[in-house]
Amino acid sequence: MAKTRVPLRAVAQANDDFFYERPGSLPGTLHIEENSPPPEIILIDYNEAGAIRKEIATPEECTPYLDTKSVSWVEVLGLGDEGILRRLGQVFNLHPLILEDIVNVPQRPKVEEYEDQLVIIARMVIPKENGSGFYSEQVSFVLGKHYLLTVQEEPKYDCLESVRSRIRSHKGIIRKHGADYLAYTLLDAIIDGFFPVLEDYGEELEALEDEVVSNPTHQTLEKIYRLRRELLGLRRAIWPQRDAINSLIRDGSDLITEEVRVYLRDCSDHAIQVLDMVETYRELGSGLMDIYLSSVGNRMNEIMKLLTVISSIFIPLTFIAGVYGMNFDTEKSPWNMPELNWYWGYPLCLAVMAAVAGGLVFFFWRRGWFQNFSTIKDDSSVTNSAETATGSPSAAAEYKRLPR
């Protein structure tokens, strides 16, 4: 009944929305979203000898598999049916708070140890097909002695298919190890799933670098803002995940063997790399903001220069023309605008105007105010040279062998 979820666009855009219970709701209340798909349950049971895969209808069908020595991986895809989820809780003997964390998505990634279970809440990201932004969903792990329960929010996409195929085709050493190794493999796939997303952002950053130099518009700024917002979201997805993995390595539950712990160190390295890249991209993003702001200032300078050049040249000329437009009566006095009656009066006047204009043009040219046209052309060549000088493989290949 008390189902509420933050529906903010701003937050949703940053992929960092949070589940929140209506204040005062009962602990253990499950909040099923209306458009959430009903859960599919798939059981994969394997050992070194073989592997079976069953789509099962009721959680209770899992029971006979859980205590056998073969590894049982129970995959639940979708959170749309409270009844089934509660029965799942009974089958796996889950603490009400575990079930709450699994169902009331999104939760912050974390690791929690219970008596004979280890609960890992992770966040999986999938790059959008249009190369901008990412989908994200929660994957919850409950690791027991011989089983692993994973619950995914969204059945339609994930990045775990390769693990399934590895079990199916007995590739690698996965079928020789226990459920802890399976959990590691899935976690590793989830962490590695951040890299393609980062790659997209790296490309976007590169495009923005070009745009901010060549043609910065107000939309460029919005793009930078959006990029920074999404990187903020990404950082908040990976940061607690890294902590969670580190606490897995450090605190050492009995459910994780020493051997798998070595593998987890590798997984932790990847999480740190993701975090490093996110931080780097965020710093580059704020550097872009600086360049953008200075571009706005530079553009203003150019506009003002143009105005100043045109005004400064024509205003004095117009003044001269105005002087000789005055109607002083030349006949009343020889001092009254005698120029008007000179034989060379008009050509002389034009010559003076041309001299004034020429002098001002020369003045501006000397101060370099006309350079900006060539500068604009230079800009692109600079960018090109920057491109070629960046240690691309071909450049590296031309590197003369240093004497040894």
Kindly report the length of the chain. 404
Output the smallest distance, CB 93 to its own copies, in A.
15
* Burial (CB count within 10 angstroms: exposed 0-12, middle 13-18, buried 19+), residue 288: buried
What tokens were used for 324?
């000789």
Nearer to its own copies, 319 or 365 (CB): 319
How many angstroms separate the Cα of 318 from the Cα of each of 43, 83, 268, 303, 362?
90, 88, 74, 22, 19
Q: How far apart are CA 389 and CA 27, in angstroms?
A: 59
Among 265, 244, 248, smallest CA distance to 256 is for 248
Output the smallest distance, CB 120 to its own copies, in A.
14
Q: What is the DSSP-derived secondary structure letter of residue 341? A: G
Residue 311 neighbours by CB distance under 10 Å: 11
Among 273, 261, 283, smallest CA distance to 192 is for 273
Q: How far apart are CA 302 and CA 248, in angstroms?
A: 58
Instruction: State CA 72 to chain mean position distance.
Output: 36
Long-range contacts of the stretch 397-402 (C-beta < 8 A, 24+): none
Output the smallest distance, CB 284 to its own copies, in A.
6
Output the smallest distance, CB 64 to its own copies, in A.
26
Nearer to its own copies, 60 or 324 (CB): 324
Nearer to its own copies, 146 or 305 (CB): 305
Residues contacting 280, CB < 8 A, separation 6+: none
Output the smallest distance, CB 89 to its own copies, in A.
15
Output the smallest distance, CB 302 to its own copies, in A.
9
* Burial (CB count within 10 angstroms: exposed 0-12, middle 13-18, buried 19+), residue 280: middle
Nearer to its own copies, 64 or 352 (CB): 352
Nearer to its own copies, 60 or 251 (CB): 251
Nearer to its own copies, 45 or 154 (CB): 154
Output the smallest distance, CB 213 to its own copies, in A.
7
What tokens were used for 380?
């692109």
Q: Are 53 and 41 in contact (CB under 8 A)?
A: no
Output the smallest distance, CB 263 to its own copies, in A.
6
Nearer to its own copies, 66 or 271 (CB): 271
Nearer to its own copies, 289 or 361 (CB): 289
Nearer to its own copies, 68 or 165 (CB): 165
Q: How far apart are CA 170 and CA 185, in angstroms?
A: 14
Phi and psi based region of residue 337 (left: phi greater than 0; alpha: psi -120 to 50; beta: remaining) = left
Q: Are 344 and 354 in contact (CB under 8 A)?
A: no
Output the smallest distance, CB 340 to its own copies, in A.
5
